[in-house]
Structure 1
Amino acid sequence: MNKELLSAIEYLSKEKNVSPDVIYDSLEAVLITAYKKEPGANSNAVVALNRNTGDYRIMAPKTVVETVEDKETQISLQLARNIDNGYDIDDVVNVDVTPKNFGRIAAQAAKQVMIQRLREAERSIVYDEFSNRTDDIITGIIQRIEQKNIYIDLGKAEAVLPVSEQIPTETYTVGQRIKCYVVEVRKTTKGAQILLSRTHPGLLKRLFELEVPEIYDGVVELKSVAREPGRRSKIAVYSRDENVDSVGACVGQKGMRVQNIVTELQNEKIDIVKWDEDPAVYIANALSPAQVISVTVDENDKSSSVVVPDYQLSLAIGKAGQNARLAAKLTNWKIDIKSETQAASANNETGTKDVIDDLDIMGDAVVSAELAEENMKS
């Protein structure tokens, strides 16, 4: 029985990746719980479990006295010296109170409670492991799709990719291997609940860290990310080493690095622009691939006015305003885009208004002079 117990603990420890101490602690708790259900059980009893042999006994501490008044907490000097002749009054003796039929009862109780404790320990280990992966990228296999929610097997745990975090343009199939961003890991009564995302900007950032060694090493810094998942994204990068081209490092030889990420995101277009501490330069870069003639910025309300060639206006704005919208998200600046013709027209209107205002002022001055002259004559 004892050898079987030790073998079972060793097997469970390896199979469930749980420390043997956790299993022994659970077993001790199970044994004392089972004992205290016995009639006349000693409330002060504890379990003495030998972790080398698997032998266990229920022991109750009792104080040696001349006359026993409380059998649960006291033992006579004569009985104490039957155990060990060295005991004296006021000494504490650990008395074996293991019931005769306790082995069978303990085995039944241990089986049920140990399974429960092991599950709890396993859940705790899984939670601890995955809670450290929050804001990181993780790879799993799609296990099943229920009510449009996708359940992904991560090996030791199952995670969910809800509808709200799925890219509308992507298709998902059971058995597909997929990379996701870990948004949150919650601890529940049923274990770790892992929430994943394919739309989070952090996914794009982590993919570039995986694909571009210069970003992972810190030579190139990814300053900002703006995404419209499944359609188009922009990232702003900066090189801490003047000998390293930040954009070129992200694109890779023959575009291989960025193409691997585009493939992973099922053909989501990615614009890589150079970050600059000068807001005007940064905004012009962010509107890539459109060419920019001039950028005027207002630091107070973080707004900018951009002038582009007439033939570049639609490209700068993008389909349904996508390029301008992403550039604004990327830079965190308001961007007003005008063509050369629109800008010139606006300037002409301003100039005309200024001329009219000047003429009005001159007219008022003439009238005032005439009135003054009439008053002098009178």
Structure 2
Amino acid sequence: MEGKDLFLMVEAISNEKNISKESVFESLEEALAVATKKQNNIDANVQIDRKTGKFSTFRQWMVIADGENFVDDDGTEFDAELHIHAKDANGVAVDDFVCKPIPTEEFGRIAAQIVKQVIIQKVREIEREVIVEDYTQRVGEVIMATVKRVDRGNVYVDMGGVDGMIPKFDLIPNESIRKNDRLRAYIKEVKSSPRGAQIFLSRTAPEMMIELFEMEVPEISEGVIEIMGASRDPGLRAKLAVKAKDKRLDPIGSCIGMRGARVQAVSNELNGERVDIILWDEDPVQFVINAMAPAEVSSIVIDEDKNSMDIAVEDDQLALAIGRGGQNIKLASRLTHWKLNVMSVSESDNKQAQENQKISDKLAEQLGVDSEVAAVLVDEGFGNIDDVADADATSLETIEEFDASMVEEMQARASDAQLVQAFGDADSFEVLTGVEGVDEDLARALIKADIVTVDNLAELSIDELLDIRNLDKELASTVIMTARENEGWFK
């Protein structure tokens, strides 16, 4: 093949497959080297001059250490046709090659077929790498695709010469999709496989909804309005949290658009999914109140250790707060990253009364006073021995029926109880941190929840441990199983 014809062929392959000319040259060199090796049973290297198109072929021997019982990567033992010892290599380093120019082969039909197969294989590999690299950089984009076929619930699409797949669990439930339909999808993941690049798309990811709003709302793409989070029940309902960097701007109104045009455009793309636009707030309690809309919240009790909030609503708001199938509370919880428990005002009052009773009983036991005195202390905001011991005596004396001598006695008992508790907590802390997976923060949370021994820890369920502290579920399981093993449960 003349140089001119070679360059025309390389350029044609490069343009057709969208790969570099250098990659095509390297593939051709490798293909010719493979054919030369098979035809002559030697190790060969072929080089093509990038300016003239001239072929140069070299026979090569791999340099190995003297006296080594050599076995190649493919299991081939020392062969004088393929290998050479370092002492005979004229200073060429071990693992390098001694090369000798040889005439370039005129290949027969079989060798030419080998060249063709190797070139096709190498070009496919390079093409796959180019696609993987290109679409890996595009992960997170929403693209338009055309449906090629639907098979076993999975949708296979054409993204402009490149194939992708939307797995059935990434499709909006009950959405009707047919061949040749055009739809938008979110690039979720890109993988390289022997069969080619695998591009996985999604229509259920919250990120897709965020991208759609960025397309529809100029204020978001310009950075004037910021999307702070999103949660979806695909095809049914979603919540989007937004905030404006300019206080004069209404972020909710901007996202809804004139007569709801902007939010409706997004909803239509998501098969009619209803989207609630929520105002983000840096105060987590206010953010939760906003996220619970349209339900009106009466009160909230927050537990930072458990990362949870108990939300109380009036009876006529309870169904609205929970939503159909728990939809509203579930989306609000995902959006705010808090575990939300919704209940009626009466249920909240009962729960609070029970909590106060537990606190009161514990305080009564520690101070050696009757339950009525302990209940009065709790009602006045003195819920533990630290509150009592560290309080200003005059603040306690202002409580009805509490005189100076009574306050002095209670504070002395509280100080003694603090000392006893400190010794007990120190012992428990040492014991609990001895369990693999229990760090210092978890140990403190366990002690605060009256889990003071390994046996106490072993008796917990995973959900009970997660209620005490927000952990990874797998870690919680490991901690409990380790505690049970330490306590001899499996002997």
Using structure 2 for the length normalisation, give the TM-score.
Answer: 0.60
Residue 251 of structure 2 aligns to which amino acid in structure 1? S
| Structure 1 residues 28 and 292: alpha-carbon distance in aligned structure 2, compared to 1, 3 A threshold | same
SS in 1 for 2:185: strand
Q: CA deviation at 1:291?
A: 2.6
SS in 2 for 1:185: strand
1:12 paired residue number: 13
Q: CA deviation at 1:161?
A: 1.1
After superposition, give the CA deviation of every residue in 1:246-296 in whole Å (9 maximum; x if it has no partner). Answer: 212211222111111000001011111111122221111111112334334
* Worse-matched range after superposition: 204-213 or 145-154: 204-213
| Structure 1 residues 347 and 111: alpha-carbon distance in aligned structure 2, compared to 1, 3 A threshold | closer
| Structure 1 residues 224 and 34: alpha-carbon distance in aligned structure 2, compared to 1, 3 A threshold | same
* Worse-matched range after superposition: 305-314 or 259-268: 305-314
1:251 aligned to 245, 250, 256, which one? 256
1:328 aligned to 309, 326, 333, which one? 333
1:51 paired residue number: 50
In 2, Cα distance between the equivalents of 1:210 and 1:96? Answer: 61
In 2, Cα distance between the equivalents of 1:277 and 1:102? Answer: 74
Do the aligned residues in 1 keep the contact of 2:156 with 2:164 (CA within 8 Å)?
yes
SS in 1 for 2:140: coil
2:131 paired residue number: 126
* Worse-matched range after superposition: 204-213 or 119-128: 204-213
Do the aligned residues in 1 keep the contact of 2:191 with 2:198 (CA within 8 Å)?
yes
Q: CA deviation at 1:95?
A: 4.8
In 2, Cα distance between the equivalents of 1:48 and 1:346? Answer: 81
| Structure 1 residues 117 and 300: alpha-carbon distance in aligned structure 2, compared to 1, 3 A threshold | closer
Please show how residues 73-152 of structure 1 align to structure 2 within 5 Å.
95=101, 97-99=103-105, 101-102=106-107, 107-152=112-157
Q: CA deviation at 1:337?
A: 3.4
In 1, Cα distance between the equivalents of 2:203 and 2:315? Answer: 37
SS in 2 for 1:325: helix
Higher relative contact order (CA closer than 8 Å, sequence separation 6+): 1
Please show how residues 58-77 of structure 1 align to structure 2 within 5 Å.
58-59=57-58
| Structure 1 residues 339 and 13: alpha-carbon distance in aligned structure 2, compared to 1, 3 A threshold | same
| Structure 1 residues 308 and 98: alpha-carbon distance in aligned structure 2, compared to 1, 3 A threshold | closer
Q: CA deviation at 1:358?
A: 5.5
| Structure 1 residues 350 and 28: alpha-carbon distance in aligned structure 2, compared to 1, 3 A threshold | closer
After superposition, give the CA deviation of every residue in 1:196-246 in whole Å (9 maximum; x if it has no partner). Answer: 211222211222222222223332222221211111111111222212222
Residue 20 of structure 2 aligns to which amino acid in structure 1? S
2:270 paired residue number: 265
In 1, Cα distance between the equivalents of 2:247 and 2:154? Answer: 46
| Structure 1 residues 48 and 235: alpha-carbon distance in aligned structure 2, compared to 1, 3 A threshold | closer
In 2, Cα distance between the equivalents of 1:125 and 1:221? Answer: 34
In 2, Cα distance between the equivalents of 1:238 and 1:167? Answer: 28
Do the aligned residues in 2 keep the contact of 1:184 with 1:195 (CA within 8 Å)?
yes
Query: What percent of counterpart residues are identical?
Result: 39
| Structure 1 residues 128 and 299: alpha-carbon distance in aligned structure 2, compared to 1, 3 A threshold | same
| Structure 1 residues 50 and 245: alpha-carbon distance in aligned structure 2, compared to 1, 3 A threshold | same
Task: Report the number of matched residues.
Answer: 329
